[in-house]
């Protein structure tokens, strides 16, 4: 009798743990609601809608938890769900204060020693991105992950550590920092790496690094993650990613397993300067994107000219399911994103398939603006030149 009742007690305990996690979320929600009530003016419909929507989502989670109890789900599955919920809740809490800071996720081997050129390259990259006021997010362990943090410094470092029996723990740069998250599961860790980043830089690494490389490429290629710069960075003169890229061309592209346009989703380089420039250029004019129903909204930092809109429609009509690329103001569904309301926008019926071509379009938007800046600069220089016989 005791043997048969034991599993039930264990399942009940796991259900209680899950309920406890839900209670923590509800407590967090209550605090958020209290803050909103203090900040919002009386009878502001938009704030009330936000609170109602959050409460509705919490209730959906609670209903799912109740169903787990009724379904007599396996103890191991309950443990995984409970732990995952706790990990993600805490990770969201840690990252929340830094949502407005741009972040680059750096992947690479934990085995790379400080005297290796790849380690030094990661240090240089981390330092360069921190100087641009970016946060550098790594797996918080040794090797390339430590190197990225060494370059960025503790102030500009964030870590998402995986708890493994053979790992020593977090590197000394991020250890004990409030910007460090420890996780048991790789899949929750991956969610945070990609969800929170504005760019990805991969240095040489083993199975884990290659897994992360294909994971981020898959998410971007399929539209499950927004477009971001993806850089494969070798040490100077290194061939690690060049060899990897040959596999991509000779096997995947040659055999029709990917499309030519998919190659636009990433960049290979052995130069830190080129890697940083690739990230900066991506965000020269482009700001962000989101879907509202069937419409893709592309937010820009500068209003596009009529000639640019004409150029985009001429060169990228193949990515449209219908209609044209047009300018628009913020849609009603975007009103909760108050910091973004004034940004210029493009609206289009994107076919949700040709992400490589969409990346090419963003490149054109950024490059046209750069060309205009260079032309203006050249005209200013010419205006300053003295006339007659080239005298100075």
Does residue 250 sit in the same domain as residue 171? yes
**355-384 and 207-221 helices, crossing angle to 10°:** 90
Range of the domain at 303: 286-383
Does residue 155 sit in the same domain as residue 250? yes
231 occurs within a structural domain = yes
Does residue 267 sit in the same domain as residue 343? no
Does residue 137 sit in the same domain as residue 195? yes
305-320 burial string, b = 16+ CB within 10 Å, else e?
A: eeebeebbeeebeebb
Does residue 112 sit in the same domain as residue 135? yes
The strand order across the sheet containing 286-292 reads 286-292, 295-300, 345-350, 320-328
Residue whose C-alpha is closest to residue 346's, from 392, 384, 390, 290: 290
389 occurs within a structural domain = no
Q: Which two tokens stand for residue 262?
A: 């998919």
Does residue 116 sit in the same domain as residue 260? yes
Whether the model pTM is above 0.85? no
Does residue 124 sit in the same domain as residue 25? no
Residue-level pLDDT at 387: 40
Residue-level pLDDT at 372: 59
The last residue of one of the domains, among 80, 96, 112, is 96
Rg (C-alpha) for the chain, rounded Å, is 25
The last residue of one of the domains, among 235, 258, 282, is 282
Residue whose C-alpha is closest to residue 193's, from 151, 148, 236: 148
Residue-level pLDDT at 61: 84
Does residue 223 sit in the same domain as residue 340? no
Q: Which residues contact 298 (CB under 8 A, 6 or more apart)?
A: 286, 289, 345, 346, 347, 348, 362
Does residue 131 sit in the same domain as residue 277? yes
Residue-level pLDDT at 390: 42
Residue-level pLDDT at 36: 53
Q: Which two tokens stand for residue 286?
A: 């482009």
Does residue 204 sit in the same domain as residue 345? no
Residue-level pLDDT at 3: 46
Q: Which two tokens stand for residue 3?
A: 């043997």
- Inter-residue contact 82 to 17 (CB < 8 Å): yes
Q: How many CB atoms lie within 10 A of CB 93?
A: 12
Does residue 212 sit in the same domain as residue 111? yes
Does residue 106 sit in the same domain as residue 230? yes
Please report, in tens digits, the pLDDT of each residue of the chain (392 residues total).
444 446 566 666 666 666 666 666 666 656 665 555 555 544 455 566 667 778 888 888 888 888 887 888 888 888 899 899 999 999 999 999 999 999 999 999 999 999 999 999 999 999 999 999 999 999 999 999 999 999 999 999 999 999 887 766 899 999 999 999 999 999 999 999 999 999 999 999 999 999 999 999 999 999 999 999 999 999 999 999 999 999 999 999 999 999 999 999 999 999 999 999 999 999 999 999 999 999 999 999 999 999 999 999 999 999 999 999 999 999 999 988 889 999 999 999 999 999 999 999 999 999 986 665 555 555 555 544 544 444 32
Length of the chain counted residue by residue: 392
Q: How many CB atoms lie within 10 A of CB 230?
A: 21
The last residue of one of the domains, among 282, 316, 341, is 282
Total structural domains within the chain: 3
Beta strands in the chain (DSSP E): 103-107, 135-138, 157-162, 180-183, 199-202, 230-233, 267-269, 286-292, 295-300, 320-328, 345-350
Residue-level pLDDT at 1: 46
Alpha helices in 203-282 (DSSP H): 207-221, 240-247, 272-282
């Amino acid at each position: 009798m005791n043997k048969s009742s034991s599993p039930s007690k264990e399942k009940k305990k796991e259900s209680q743990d899950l309920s406890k996690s839900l209670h923590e979320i509800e407590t967090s929600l209550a605090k958020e609601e209290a803050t909103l009530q203090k900040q919002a003016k009386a009878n502001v419909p938009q704030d009330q809608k936000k609170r109602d929507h959050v409460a509705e989502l919490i209730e959906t989670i609670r209903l799912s938890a109740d169903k787990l109890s009724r379904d007599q789900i396996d103890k191991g599955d309950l443990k995984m769900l409970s732990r995952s919920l706790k990990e993600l809740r805490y990770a969201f809490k840690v990252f929340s204060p830094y949502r407005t800071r741009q972040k680059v996720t750096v992947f690479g081997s934990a085995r790379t020693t400080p005297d290796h050129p790849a380690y030094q390259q990661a240090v240089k990259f981390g330092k360069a991105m921190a100087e641009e006021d970016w946060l550098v997010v790594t797996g918080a362990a040794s090797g390339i992950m430590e190197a990225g943090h060494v370059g960025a410094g503790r102030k500009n470092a964030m870590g998402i550590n995986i708890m493994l029996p053979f790992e020593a723990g977090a590197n000394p740069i991020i250890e004990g920092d409030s910007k460090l998250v420890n996780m048991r599961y790789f899949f929750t860790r991956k969610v945070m790496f990609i969800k929170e980043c504005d760019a990805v830089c991969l240095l040489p690494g083993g199975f884990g690094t290659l897994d992360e490389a294909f994971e981020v490429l898959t998410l971007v290629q399929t539209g499950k993650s927004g477009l971001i710069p993806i850089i494969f960075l070798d040490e100077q003169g290194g061939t690690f990613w060049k060899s990897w890229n040959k596999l991509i061309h000779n096997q995947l592209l040659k055999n029709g397993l990917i499309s030519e346009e998919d190659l636009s989703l990433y960049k290979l380089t052995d130069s830190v300067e080129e890697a940083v420039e690739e990230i900066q250029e991506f965000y020269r004019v482009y700001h962000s994107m989101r879907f509202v129903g069937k419409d893709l909204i592309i937010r820009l930092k500068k209003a596009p000219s009529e000639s640019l809109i004409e150029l985009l429609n001429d060169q990228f009509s193949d990515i449209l399911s219908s209609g044209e690329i047009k300018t628009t103001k913020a849609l009603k569904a975007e009103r909760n994103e108050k910091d973004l309301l004034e940004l210029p926008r493009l609206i289009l019926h994107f076919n949700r398939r040709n992400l490589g071509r969409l990346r090419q379009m963003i490149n054109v938007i950024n490059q046209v603006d750069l060309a205009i800046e260079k032309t203006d600069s050249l005209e200013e220089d010419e205006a300053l030149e003295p006339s007659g016989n080239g005298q100075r």
